[in-house]
Amino acid sequence: MDTIGQLHQTIERLTSPGRGILAADESYPTITKRLADHGIESTEENRRFYRSLLASTPGIGEYVGGIIFFEETLGQKNDDGVRIPEACEQNHIVPGIKVDKGLVELAGSPGDKVTQGLDNLGDRLDGYVEQGARFTKWRNVYAITDRTPSRQAIDANAEVLARYAAIAQSRGMVPIVEPEVLLDGNHDIERCAEVTEAAQTAVFDALRRHNVKLEYIILKPNMVLPGQDNPRPSVETCAEYTLQVLRRTVPAAVPSINFLSGGQTAEEATAHLNAMNQADGAKPWVLSFSYSRALQNPVQAAWKGDPANKADAQQAFLKRARLNSMARQGQYSPDMEA
């Protein structure tokens, strides 16, 4: 199959009705922190056990079309000796891979970060394809303060994100494009909207400059919310702000927008997604999820690092994924949590 055929097939699978994406691609420091929150040690065996538990949850393929992994997982096997990417395929899930190499200070722009990982990216992707990965993720971050993000941070990050997306598509891999405006801070919702609009505008300008085919990307944005230290307006208000920014910035050619959860609780992230899918007005894209914490927190709480809790952990994952699948269709209500 040529690269366009591969992109087409993968995007169809990732965006099929009722489904979203699980981000299980935490780097070593991040997974260590997440597991420690539940008293679990981040050993190689625990990471293998846990991520294969996610990938092989019975029935999860109805709600989750893709899982993003960290490099380590692509080479690991589940308890039956099946490689985890292969186990995903058996469960009707497309395996993906986070390909950026994390954040560094943006020189000349105090307080801003830029994402690295473009060097040798094409060669690395060829290796990931060999291992079974069919799509990729790259994350930029933008912290909101009085002085950040700067104009140069917005432009520099857009440029690397677009170069990454072009390289991924050249290898037949669907790029998830993630410009994340962070939730930390005491800014109001208008400021989050203004920064998110500026970041996404620059990203789509850069994608166009680099001839990225918008039909074969997934946008993974933050929702528009006030800073963590401020009270939240209603779920509907947050949904309206988010939709307004998306309508202003995201071309209708983009098939799917899969939100990150960004530090919201599991229930909040589901309710916000549901409100956007229920809202009136133009929405030319699928609106779905690509959560990490909002899907995995309840799973880790049920697992507790004990293999005996595997079935309970898989039940917790199934429940959260099913509720988010309802939200993706605008059919969730909080009483379904019970």
The separation between CA 194 and the C-alpha centre of its own chain, rounded to angstroms, equals 21
- Count the residues of the shown chain that bind ligand 13P, applying the rule CB under 6 A: 10
- Comparing CB distances to ligand 13P, the nearer of 37 and 126 is 37
Q: Identify whether 268 is a catalytic site residue.
A: no
**Given 113, 137, 220, 310, the catalytic residue:** 220
For the chain, where are the alpha helices, taking DSSP H only?
3-14, 28-36, 44-55, 71-74, 84-90, 121-130, 151-170, 189-209, 235-249, 266-278, 293-303, 310-328
DSSP lists the bridge partners of residue 100 as: none
Q: CA-CA distance, 266 to 237, in Å (whole number)?
A: 18
Is 245 in a helix, a strand, or coil? Answer: helix
**Given 26, 98, 137, 178, the catalytic residue:** 178
Contacts of 188 (CB under 8 A, 6+ apart): 226, 227, 230
Candidate list 48, 139, 272, 328; residue touching ligand 13P; CB under 6 A: 139
* Selected range binding ligand 13P among 10-18, 58-66, 145-153, 289-297, rule: CB under 6 A: 289-297
- Comparing CB distances to ligand 13P, the nearer of 134 and 139 is 139
Regarding 270 and contact with ligand 13P (CB under 6 A), the answer is no
Candidate list 294, 302, 321, 323; residue touching ligand 13P; CB under 6 A: 294
Say if CB 23 and CB 54 are below 8 A apart.
no
Tokens of 259: 């939100």
- Comparing CB distances to ligand 13P, the nearer of 16 and 265 is 265
* Selected range binding ligand 13P among 241-249, 259-267, 271-279, 321-329, rule: CB under 6 A: 259-267
Contact characters 141-180, ligand 13P, x per CB under 6 A: -------------------------------------x--
Cis peptide preceding 17, ω within 30 of 0: no
Contacts of 189 (CB under 8 A, 6+ apart): 224, 225, 226, 233, 237, 238, 241
Candidate list 63, 291, 317, 332; residue touching ligand 13P; CB under 6 A: 291
For 69-188, where are the alpha helices, taking DSSP H only?
71-74, 84-90, 121-130, 151-170
Q: Identify whether 159 is a catalytic site residue.
A: no
Candidate list 48, 293, 320, 328; residue touching ligand 13P; CB under 6 A: 293
The label of the residue with tokens 């909002």 reads 294
Q: CA-CA distance, 130 to 136, in Å (whole number)?
A: 14
Contact characters 174-213, ligand 13P, x per CB under 6 A: ----x-----------------------------------
Regarding 240 and contact with ligand 13P (CB under 6 A), the answer is no
- Comparing CB distances to ligand 13P, the nearer of 260 and 273 is 260
Give how far Cα 334 sits from Cα of 256, 265, 274, 275, 324, Å.
25, 13, 10, 11, 11
Say if CB 295 and CB 257 are below 8 A apart.
no
Tokens of 28: 């070593």
Candidate list 262, 302, 313, 325; residue touching ligand 13P; CB under 6 A: 262
Least distance to ligand 13P from the beta carbon of 142, Å? 13
- Comparing CB distances to ligand 13P, the nearer of 5 and 222 is 222
- Comparing CB distances to ligand 13P, the nearer of 73 and 292 is 292
Is 3 in a helix, a strand, or coil? Answer: helix
Regarding 23 and contact with ligand 13P (CB under 6 A), the answer is yes
- Comparing CB distances to ligand 13P, the nearer of 102 and 111 is 102
Candidate list 200, 261, 314, 324; residue touching ligand 13P; CB under 6 A: 261
Residue ranges that bind ligand 13P, judged by CB under 6 A: 23, 139, 178, 260-262, 291-294
- State the catalytic residues: 178, 220
